[in-house]
Amino acid sequence: MNFHFISILFILLASFGCNRSESKEIDPEKEVVCFVYHRFGDNRYPSTNVSLEDFEAHLKHLQTQGFQVLTFADAIDYLHSDEPAQKTAVLTIDDGYESFYKNGLPLLKKYQFPATLYINTETVGGTSYMNWEQLQEATDAGIEVGNHTHSHAYFLNQPAAERYDNFEKELKRTQKLIEKNLGEKPETFAYPFGELDQRMLEIVKEIGFKGAAAQNSGVIGASTDLHKCPRFPMSQSYSSIDKFKSKAAMHHVKLIREEPSTFLATDDKPKLSLTLEPESPLNGSVNCFIQGGDCAVSKNEVNGKVILSISPEGPITGRRRFLYTLTAQKNGQWYWYSHLWIRPGIE
């Protein structure tokens, strides 16, 4: 009887320890710089394509600079672990285009780097998309295959009464299809077009994904919501080796509070408020960029904290998605933060 009681107590304590480990704060020294690609060596689509010369230069830079390159799932585990901090990068690829299989994957194999490929299962085997056999070959080469929904729809355009049910059903359908065809259920997710609202984020957590990727730029770190991780986009406009090097060297801006935390903009002059510690790199000379407009920044100190207020000087019109980006330098290092705004009413 006593032995049985002790066994139960041990199990409960072990379970409690695991939960505490999973929920513990991320070491502020740990950062992950994450990049998102789409097409490789396909000049027909410059807005989503990266040349093979540029991509190989990216991989060579990560190798020569001693980066630890992980899959997205392994990077989330690294952030939660007791492993010492080290330079860490993640390469993600959205949509599962065949150009990745033909042109991108061979270069990853050459440098022996893993990556994470997010697929929308409705298009698997379609024109210009990878088929299940190619996806299996990629997983055998160390590529993590993640969930990108079934249809890759603009879910924010759907009425709320339908949106969340459709979103959840698609996530679960894609989980089943990937597990059936590749033998493993995805552990991570990427929002189509980087678009989400708070309820969509909650559904992603409820299904059990350990992390999810958005499309605002920045570095993952101590104050990042790991179900809304930033990624730097890589396409012909941004993928020169100099630009890649500058992004790879960026650091995380730790926030106390971000208001609003949602990406949804309710008007054409949305205001963003960031609460920071006084020693934050943003509490100094800061560069501010707003897509589609000029930036206005004001600073206040309240109860020993710094509050930055960011807004456009004029209305931002005609843009469905736009970014507010702040950069600053401190002690010879550059820091980057961006907030994505989405206006679903604009096509």
- Report pLDDT digits (tens) over 71-122: 999 999 999 999 999 999 999 999 999 999 999 999 999 999 999 999 999 9
CB-CB contact of 232 with 243 (8 Å) = no
What type of residue is 48? T
Q: What are phi and psi of 78, to 5 degrees?
A: -60, -45
**Predicted local confidence at residue 24, as pLDDT:** 66
Run of H or E residues at 175: helix 160-182
ω into 260 cis (within 30 of 0): yes
**Predicted local confidence at residue 116, as pLDDT:** 98
Run of H or E residues at 105: helix 105-111
What tens digit of pLDDT does each residue of 110-140 get?
999 999 999 999 999 999 999 999 999 999 9
Run of H or E residues at 212: strand 211-213
Name the E strands within 38-171: 39-40, 49-50, 68-70, 88-94, 115-119, 143-147
Average pLDDT, the chain: 93
**Predicted local confidence at residue 10, as pLDDT:** 40
pLDDT average, residue stretch 218-233: 97
CA geometry: angle at 347 spanning 164 and 199, to 5°? 20
Name the E strands within 65-114: 68-70, 88-94
Predicted TM-score of the model (pTM): 0.92
Torsion sign over Cα 294, 241, 28, 13: positive
What tokens appear for 84 in the block? 């010492």
What tokens appear for 244 in the block? 């890649």
- For 219, 244, 310, the CA distances from 225, given in Å and listed in that order, are 11, 24, 21
ω into 315 cis (within 30 of 0): no
**Predicted local confidence at residue 347, as pLDDT:** 84
Percent of the chain with pLDDT over 90: 91
In the beta sheet, which residues pair with residue 146?
Answer: 118
